[in-house]
Structure 1
Amino acid sequence: MYKVTLIPGDGIGPEVAKAMTKVVETSGVKIEWEEVNAGETVMEEFETPLPKHVIDTIKKNKIAIKGPITTPIGKGFKSVNVTLRQELDLYVNLRPIKSFKGIKSRYENVDLVIVRENTEDLYAGIEHKLGNYGAESIKIITKDASERIVDFACNYVKDNKRNKLTAVHKANIMKLTDGLFLDVFREVSSKHDINYDDLIVDAAAMNLVLNPEKYDVMVMPNLYGDILSDLGAGLVGGLGIIPGANIGKDYAVFEAVHGSAPQIAGQNKANPTALIQSAVMMLRYLEEYECADKIEKALGEVFLKGEKLTLDLGGSASTTEFADEVCKYILNS
């Protein structure tokens, strides 16, 4: 029996979280969910979108999965997602970008993984005003953070029998910061028995649109990872199907990376695929490979059959109907 912190989140979060837990439980894995919440729904009670007890619960269980969380805009609060990553030192953001047959897209056979450094770069949040003239944001790249993210990416390539690791950077312009990242990448990668190369970020954006099937595992600083992972989601059907994981030495938080979609909240219309796929990643992290494979295979069969797809995928099924269809295929596997 595993104990996992469940953070349903805001908007459609509770609906997709309910669908996800049903699918996970149907796969046969035994999980005790410890439910807490963060975001706008707790602001009035705790005067913060991220109460201390939420972080304490994750530290206790060491693993969490969360739905979309809204950080109030213009009220001085730091992003809940960024705060969680920094508080728990979740230095890896892992985003698999994979095509499913049955989901309409301009591309087929996309199967790439973005490994994003998660704790520094411009997301360190060090900014200040320059009088009335302007503002300045400081980009931080350190050797230690670069070494551990590249080492993680190298091991991911080997452990998952991938073909190549590509570093994404802008070292031709930012010679000190991105130059450091690139130097570390080359040094660390050379110590691993893998194929590796590097690519300037603007060329990476173009090439991912032209020939995404040519790329495998890509490692990069925080900002580029944020942008290119969303670009990658657009290649295979959108953020509604893409999972995400934030992984550190001691803790891991799995998440749907899409927004809270308040305009359809409570209407049972949301697509729960992103959170279900994040749960698949979580189960593999827990080494529950058989249950993870069951869910992934069932998702593929639901997409291929195309009879119970949600509105965003061109169907008319509700969140509940989609989850029930996935569960049906799991039970028949």
Structure 2
Amino acid sequence: MKYVTLFEGDGIGPEITDSVIQIFNHLNIPITFEKYDIGQTLYEKEGILISQESIDSIKKNKVALKAPISTPIGKGFRSMNVHLRMMFDLYANIRPAKSYKQIKSRYSDIDLVVFRENTEDLYIGEEKKINDDEFIAIKKITRKASRRIIKLAFEYAIKNNRKKVTCVHKANILKLTDGLFLEEFNKIKADYPSIIANDLIVDNTCMQLVLKPENFDVLVMPNLYGDIISDLTSGLIGGLGLLPSVNMNDEYAIFEAVHGSALDIANKNIANPTAFILSACMMLEHLGFEKEATTIKEAIECTFNDLDNCTADLGGKASTLQYTQNIINNMAKKSIM
């Protein structure tokens, strides 16, 4: 039995969490979830954004599944998500982007993975006031953080039969900070001669992703570029509703969908749970349940074959509950076959 810390989150979080639990229950996956409130939901109950009990649960289980959360404006942390990443030193944010032939988008052959350094860059949150008309933000890049995210990207490429790793940077302008990141990339790539390694300026990367996304495989980059480019890749495949992710280091892993809590559609039974289900599949693979993860992903693709059985944002007519049941039905069909 595996134990996983579970945050149902805010907004649509409880609805899409229920989808995951239904699917896991159908497959009888030996995972016990330890549920905790977090973010706005917890703040409204207890006046805090995260409990010590839930932190202890993550430390014990090493793995968490987190639905989208909201950080109340002006309360506590600037971002609960950023706080969790910093608290557990989750230096790697990994976001796969895969197109599905059944889902309407501009491209049909995308299968890439963004590796985003998760602990520094402008996201350290150090801003200073010079005077009433002038402010600065500190961009921090370290050799240690650069090396570990770049090495992880190459290791992932080897393990998953990927062919190429691209370093994204702005070292032509930011010669010290991004220059350091690129320097470490050029050192580390020599240890992986079987992997094609190249680098691109971030603005050129955005253009090339739109023109020829099929040319990309694994991309690794500092924090800010990773935040922007991973959202760009979601647009290439049909939206944030299809984009899973994990924040991790060598000890801990927190899996989550990339999209937000969507408070405006909460409790309407119309949310698309796909990204969160796919994040749960990444978690299953991390825990050694590769077969179960494959079964779920194949059932999702089968469900895509009739878009009427999908949620409205995917072009369908199904509610969240109906879409979840359609995935379960397709899993049942595959088990019979």
Unaligned runs of 5+ in 2: none
Matched residue, 1:65: 65
Equivalent AA in structure 2 for residue 29 of structure 1: I
Deviation (angstroms), 1:76: 5.1
Contact 1:101 1:300 in 2 (8 A): no
Deviation at 1:275, TM superposition (A): 0.4
Match of 1:13 in 2: 13
Does the CA contact (< 8 Å) of 2:9 and 2:68 recur in 1?
A: yes
User: Which digits, 9 at most, give the CA deviation of each residue in 1:296-318, with x for residues without a partner?
Assistant: 10011101222311011111101
C-alpha distance in structure 1 between counterparts of 2:122 and 2:55, whole Å: 23
Query: Hey, what does 2:329 align to over in structure 1?
Result: 328
Please tell me whether the aligned partners of residues 113 and 218 of structure 1 are also in contact (alpha carbons under 8 angstroms). yes
TM-score (norm 2): 0.96
Corresponding pairs, count: 333
Q: What's the CA shift for 1:100?
A: 1.1
Instruction: Give the alignment of 1:80-229 within 5 angstroms.
Output: 80-193=80-193, 194-229=195-230
Contact preservation (8 Å) 1:101, 1:304:
no
Is contact 1:114–1:229 with CA below 8 Å preserved after alignment? yes
State the 1:72 CA deviation: 1.5
- 1:41 Cα offset (Å): 0.8
Equivalent AA in structure 2 for residue 307 of structure 1 = D
> Which residue pairs with 1:33 in the alignment?
33
Q: By how many angstroms is 1:189 displaced?
A: 1.2
Identity %: 50
Q: TM-score, normalised by structure 1?
A: 0.98
Contact 2:96–2:112 (CA<8 Å) still a contact in 1? yes
Establish whether residue 261 from structure 1 lines up as the match of residue 262 from structure 2.
yes
Stretch deviating more after TM superposition (76-85 or 58-67): 76-85
Give the partner amino acid of 1:324. Q
Contact map agreement 1:67 1:256 (CA 8 A) in 2: yes
Aligned-partner residue type, residue 289 of structure 1 = E
Q: Secondary structure at the match of 2:172?
A: coil
Distance 1:187 1:203 in 2: 23
CA contact (8 A) 2:77 2:83 kept: no
Matched residues in 1 for 2:279 and 2:70: separation? 18
Partner secondary structure for residue 199 of structure 2: strand
Is the 1:130–1:136 Cα contact (8 Å) retained in structure 2? Answer: yes
CA displacement, residues 219-240 of structure 1 (integer Å, 9 cap, x when unaligned): 0000000000000000001001
Alignment check: 8 A CA contact 1:48 1:77 kept: no
Q: Deviations over 1:32-70 (max 9, x none)?
A: 110001111111333232233222211111100111111
Partner SS for 1:240: helix
After superposing the two structures, state which structure 1 stretch, 265-274 or 303-312, moved more: 303-312
Structure 1 unaligned spans of 5+ = none
Counterpart-to-counterpart distance in 1, 2:127 and 2:32: 41
CA distance in 1, matches of 2:4, 2:151: 27
Paired with 2:215 and 2:79, the residues of 1 have a C-alpha distance of: 34
Instruction: Give, in angstroms, the shift of residue 131 of structure 1.
Output: 2.6
How far apart in 1 are the matches of 2:187 and 2:237?
33
Contact kept, 8 Å, 2:49 with 2:76, in 1: the verdict is no
Whether the 8 Å CA contact 2:308–2:315 is kept in 1: the answer is no
Considering Cα pairs closer than 8 Å and 6+ residues apart, tell me whether 1 or 2 has the greater RCO.
1
